[in-house]
Amino acid sequence: MFLEPIESHQIIEVVNKLNPKMSFDHDGFSTKILKESIHAILLPITHIINKSLETGIVPKQMKCAKVIPFFKASDPFKLENY
CA-closest candidate to residue 7, choices 55, 35, 47: 47
For the entire predicted model, the pTM comes to 0.67
27 in helix, strand or coil?
coil
Q: What is the structure's pLDDT at 14?
A: 93
Which residues, in sequence order, are CB contacts of 73 under 8 Å at separation 6+? 81
Res 1 pLDDT > 70: no
Q: What is the structure's pLDDT at 43?
A: 97
Q: What would the pLDDT profile of 40-79 be if each residue is shown by its tens digit?
A: 999 999 999 999 999 989 888 778 877 788 888 999 999 8
Residue of 17 and 23 predicted with greater confidence = 17
What's the whole-number average pLDDT of the chain? 88
